[in-house]
Amino acid sequence: MNFHPITIKDIAKALGLSVSTVSKALRGSHEISQETKNNVLAYAREHNYKPNPIAQSLKRGRSKSIGVIVCNIDNNFFSQVINGIESVARQKDYNIIITQSRESYEREVTNSLHLSARSVDGMIVSLSAETRNVDHFANLYKKGLPIVFFDRVTDEIDTHKVIANNFKGAYEATRHLLEQGFRRIAHITSSLSLSITLERLQGYKQALTDAGLEPDQHYIKLCQHGGMIQEETRQALTELLQLEHRPDAIFTASDRLSTTTLSLLRQMKIAVPGEIALVGFTNSISADIFNPSLTAVVQPALEMGQQIMDLLIQLIESKRPVTSFEKRVLETELKIRDSSLHP
């Protein structure tokens, strides 16, 4: 099962040169005569020579590959971000290695170790819902591995970050529900350890406050697993429905929570928006064919991916240590559909 791709050594032998001459010629060094260069390049092209990236990695300590850790690729938001990352990576000749934490802290840790062991030149990370401690990233980062966080970020590591304007997105979603005349607006969200959870929760609360309403803890439900476990969401929803003053609207804070909640409401034969209106934070490309079509806070995922990769490449290719970091905040868009319209 062995490949025998042509190597520098083969070229050297064929042309009666030394490997170093060939190596230099291939890289266009000006200490090599034009004639030799031409010969080498012609031979290389003809025999389809490709430098062995493994050997290059070993030698240079850089692999021209970057690792991505997200909770789940099976999610339009993340797959769109990845598409953005990939489009830039492709231009700059980086490979990306995608891994999933599936919201598990343990898998996040092992993935990060695997990737660093594979000498990725940098990492792009959105934290898992279970993660309370980011030492695994802090350690890598301290050793010099460039990391860019996005979406679910941490304050504990000072590096570039790219997020959506979660506060404003949540604020607008909630205000929209208020404008539609809903008053008892519940919020189903993920683990409080996630930055997005806090930011969206703040936006939700602020909108209520600005409308003269008091946020009510009973209307706020946390799902530690971010909707990955349907039973957890069912439990949250059931509790909301059993409240003395049942909510007349729900604002869900993530893709999976939104679809799961809608699915559960339908199973429970609760009319949406008739009995309960719904707005979700989601990039689902199918939101318009949901029943009812789902009003959604949409993030500019593709653009986020591009900016993330731009920033990471900046870190990787910077000659001198980078000391000043930015947190880019991209605006969301509220797509109003049927699920939030007042009956």
- For the record, the structure tokens of 21 come out as 């001459």
Cβ distance 148 to 141 under 8 Å? no
Cβ distance 340 to 249 under 8 Å? yes
- For the record, the structure tokens of 67 come out as 């690792």
Say which residue the tokens 């349907």 belong to: 230
209 sits near DNA (criterion: CB under 7 A): no
Q: How far is the CB of 71 from DNA (least distance, A)?
A: 31
* Interacting span for DNA (CB under 7 A) from 2-10, 99-107, 135-143, 212-220: 2-10
Cβ distance 84 to 305 under 8 Å? yes
Residue 268: CB partners within 8 Å, gap ≥ 6? Answer: 237, 241
323 sits near a second copy (criterion: CB under 8 A): no
Q: Is the CB of 76 or the CB of 195 nearer to a second copy?
A: 76
Q: How far is the CB of 297 from a second copy (least distance, A)?
A: 18
Q: Which of 21, 80, 166, 307 binds a second copy (CB under 8 A)?
A: 80
Q: Is the CB of 167 or the CB of 290 nearer to a second copy?
A: 290
Q: Which of 169, 280, 292, 305 binds a second copy (CB under 8 A)?
A: 292
Q: Rounded distance, CA 199 to CA 166, Å?
A: 6
Q: Is the CB of 59 or the CB of 319 nearer to DNA?
A: 59
Q: Is the CB of 51 or the CB of 215 nearer to DNA?
A: 51
95 sits near DNA (criterion: CB under 7 A): no
Q: Which of 1, 46, 59, 217 binds DNA (CB under 7 A)?
A: 59
Please tell me the total number of residues recorded for the chain in this structure.
343
Q: Which of 58, 192, 268, 271 binds a second copy (CB under 8 A)?
A: 58
51 sits near DNA (criterion: CB under 7 A): yes
Q: How far is the CB of 135 from DNA (least distance, A)?
A: 23
Cβ distance 76 to 283 under 8 Å? yes
103 sits near a second copy (criterion: CB under 8 A): no
- HEC secondary structure over 29-96: CCCCCHHHHHHHHHHHHHCCCCCCHHHHHHHHCCCCEEEEEECCCCCHHHHHHHHHHHHHHHHCCCEE
143 sits near DNA (criterion: CB under 7 A): no
Nearest to 253 by CA among 289, 328, 203: 203
Cβ distance 81 to 150 under 8 Å? yes
Neighbours of 338 (CB within 10 A): 16
* Interacting span for DNA (CB under 7 A) from 57-65, 66-74, 274-282, 295-303: 57-65
Q: How far is the CB of 1 from a second copy (least distance, A)?
A: 5
291 sits near a second copy (criterion: CB under 8 A): yes
38 sits near DNA (criterion: CB under 7 A): no
Q: How far is the CB of 192 from DNA (least distance, A)?
A: 40
Q: Which of 155, 288, 326, 333 binds a second copy (CB under 8 A)?
A: 288
Residue 40: CB partners within 8 Å, gap ≥ 6? Answer: 11, 15, 17, 21, 22, 25, 26
The residues binding DNA (CB under 7 A) are 7-9, 16-21, 23-27, 29-33, 35-36, 50-52, 55-56, 58-61
